[in-house]
Amino acid sequence: MRITSTNSTQTTLTNINVVGGGGGHIDKLESGESETVWVDITGDCSIDIDYLYNGQKKEESVAGYVTSSIEQKMKHNIGGQNQELF
């Protein structure tokens, strides 16, 4: 799965972790900046993201359910509005 994360906040985000599947990591995203990570999906799972926002840890859901039988690409607005895929 390919996930493109965009920082929709007004501040720099750091230590961005994709949790679920094979996981992924982005060191830093400036406001408005995007970066793509590839996540290995080895079975049915959910994908979440956690990050530091002004030094505080925040968590968000990226996808409630993904499976390895379908290749997917997603866009996720960190700290913004998102539409979940089913």
CATH assignment at residue 61: 2.60.40.2890
In a domain, 56, yes or no: yes
Higher pLDDT, 86 or 70: 70
Residues of the domain holding 25: 2-78
How many helices (H) and strands (E) are present in the chain, helices listed first? Answer: 0, 7
Nearest Cα neighbor of 47 from 30, 24, 69, 81 is: 24
Helices (H), the chain: none
Total tally of structural domains belonging to the chain:
1
In a domain, 83, yes or no: no
Identify the band that residue 84 occupies on the pLDDT scale cut at 50, 70 and 90.
low
Higher pLDDT, 11 or 71: 11
Residues belonging to the chain:
86
In a domain, 85, yes or no: no
In a domain, 84, yes or no: no
Given this model, what pLDDT does residue 86 score? 42
- pLDDT beyond 80 at 25: yes
Given this model, what pLDDT does residue 32 score? 96
Which residues, at least 6 apart from 46, have a Cβ–Cβ distance to it below 8 Å? Answer: 20, 61, 63, 64, 65, 66
**Mean pLDDT, residues 14-32 taken together:** 95
